[in-house]
Amino acid sequence: MKIGFIGTGVMGTGIINNLLKHGNEVTVFNRTQAHAQAVIDNGAKWAPTPAAATKGNDFVFTMVGFPADVEEVYYGSDGILAAAPEDQVLVDMTTSKPSLAKQLAKDAAHMVDAPVSGGDIGAKNATLTVMLGGAQADVQKIMPILQQISASQHYFGPAGSGQHAKMANQIMVAGTMTGMTEMLVYAKKAGLNLADVIQTVGAGAAANWSLSNYGPRILKQDYTPGFFAKHFLKDLRIALDEAEQMGLELPATAEAKRLYGVLVDQKKLGNDGTQALVKLWWNQSN
């Protein structure tokens, strides 16, 4: 397949590398070309604009940081919609606003929202979970590609449904991240061996993905982003905005947003991984 891919961050890089491994011809664009060098070295072609990454390809995938970035790459003067032919399926894998996904579906002939879960490890190992919204026929067209980069794919309904499913996912992750953090803070204060605690808790009813993947990183003082803290804060803000529109109160998610707001906005640690939440209690030297 000939695929355009816009966004070569931590997640995009892993996905692109898997597309290349399967023999696809991938053309990439990123706001900073130097950040695309790793996939270019692996065989991806460089495009100078989103429009250039769109032309001549069977499909175009996007995975950028924030909803404003999505709007820029699709609606900009050199954006995707200015160059996309009528029969081309566009796929936004960014975790973004359901309302924006619905708007894109109105403005593009074939649009799928396809946010993912699984972090940098899932992107690298092609074990991501994909949450899909859009026309079922368009989803079926991209399914062979999704199967190359993910372990499971779930269709939830019309445009925006994939983004709503991702918000549900992030609400759950908020609980596991705050729970893991407070568990480690408590266990450390109690003088317990933290590696043993992680192994023990991870083998019982409290086992979860955050604990098994981020707990060991914390013990190694590894705060590199599998998922940026600033992006997780963005997701929590979207989730709470959507919940408010539906008349829901989500107090635990609101507290997670407050804590990540302190980490990102006050501590200026938004470029750390989400596991850096523990820094609100621990110094980096701990």
Name the percent of the chain in helix, strand, coil, to the closest 5: 55, 15, 30
pLDDT band for 285, please (50, 70, 90 cuts).
very low
Give the separation between CA 193 and CA 211, rounded to whole angstroms. 15
199 with 129, same domain: the answer is no
Give the separation between CA 257 and CA 263, rounded to whole angstroms. 10
Query: What percentage of the chain carries pLDDT values higher than 70?
Result: 99
Q: Please state the pTM of the whole predicted model.
A: 0.94
For 131, phi then psi, to 5°, come to -110, 120
Q: For position 283, what pLDDT does the model report?
A: 74
Please give the average per-residue pLDDT across 96-117, as a whole number.
97
Give the separation between CA 16 and CA 182, rounded to whole angstroms. 35
The long-range contacts involving 243-249, CB below 8 angstroms and separated by at least 24 positions, are none
169 with 67, same domain: the answer is no
Is the C-alpha dihedral spanning 251, 255, 256, 257 positive or negative?
positive
174 with 152, same domain: the answer is no
Domain end (from 125, 158, 191): 158
221 burial (CB, 10 Å; 0-12 / 13-18 / 19+) is: exposed
Q: Which of 102, 166, 230, 257 is the catalytic position?
A: 166
CA distances from 26 to 13, 46, 222, 237, 272 (A): 12, 9, 31, 33, 29
- Tell me: the pLDDT tens digits for 29-75? 999 999 999 999 999 999 999 999 999 999 999 999 999 999 999 99
Domain count, the chain: 2
Instruction: Specify the DSSP element, H or E, that contains 2.
Output: strand 2-6
Which CATH number covers residue 276?
Answer: 1.10.1040.10
180 with 217, same domain: the answer is yes
55 is catalytic: no
Which CATH number covers residue 90?
Answer: 3.40.50.720
Least Cα distance to 111 among 140, 85, 88 occurs for 88
- The answer to whether residue 179 scores a pLDDT higher than 60 is yes
- What length is written for the chain? 286
Angle (CA) 47 49 53, round 5°: 50
Reading phi first (left if > 0) and then psi (alpha if -120 to 50, else beta), residue 110 is in: beta
**Domain span holding position 240:** 164-280
- Tell me: the pLDDT tens digits for 109-165? 999 999 999 989 999 999 999 999 999 999 999 999 999 999 999 999 999 999 999
Which two three-digit tokens encode residue 276? 């850096």
Q: For position 284, what pLDDT does the model report?
A: 53
Q: For position 95, what pLDDT does the model report?
A: 96
Domain membership of residue 25 (yes or no) is yes
